Amino acid sequence: MNPLIFAWLLSSAGALLFFAAGATWFKQRALRGAGHSAFGAALDPSRTTSAGAVALRTEGIATTNSQALQAIVDAEVANTGVQSAVIADEIGLVIAASSQGSEHGEALAAFGVYLAEVGTRMRSALPLHQVRSVVVRDDRETTLTVRPLEHGDHRFALVTLAEPKAAAQR
Are 57 and 39 in contact, with CB atoms under 8 Å apart? yes
Strand partners, 134: 146
Q: How far apart are CA 168 and CA 137, in angstroms?
A: 12
User: Between 151 and 75, where is the model more confident?
Assistant: 75
56-108: per-residue pLDDT in tens?
Answer: 544 444 445 777 888 888 888 888 878 889 988 888 888 888 876 567 888 88
pLDDT value at 48 more than 50: no
Residues in the chain, overall count: 170
Signed CA dihedral, 82, 86, 92, 94: sign only: negative
User: Worst-scoring range by mean pLDDT, 48-52, 121-125, 144-148, 164-168?
Assistant: 48-52
The residue among 69, 51, 19, 31 whose CA lies nearest residue 119 is 51
Signed CA dihedral, 66, 148, 39, 152: sign only: positive
The beta-strand segments (E) located in the chain are 42-48, 54-57, 84-88, 94-97, 134-137, 143-151, 154-162
Query: How many degrees, rounded to 5, is the angle at CA 128 between CA 127 and CA 130?
Result: 155
In CATH, the number for domain 42-169 is 3.30.450.30
The phi, psi pair for 48, rounded to 5°, reads: -130, 160
Query: Would you place residue 123 in the very low, low, confident or very high pLDDT band (cuts 50, 70, 90)?
Result: confident
Query: Would you place residue 136 in the very low, low, confident or very high pLDDT band (cuts 50, 70, 90)?
Result: very high
Q: What is the DSSP letter of 4?
A: H
**HSE-CB of 123 using CA atoms within 13 angstroms:** 15
Mean pLDDT highest for which of 34-38, 149-153, 154-158?
A: 154-158
Query: Would you place residue 124 in the very low, low, confident or very high pLDDT band (cuts 50, 70, 90)?
Result: confident
Strand partners, 150: 55, 155
The domain limits of the chain are 1-35, 42-169
Residue 129: its pLDDT value, please?
A: 83
94-97 and 134-137: which strand pairing? unpaired
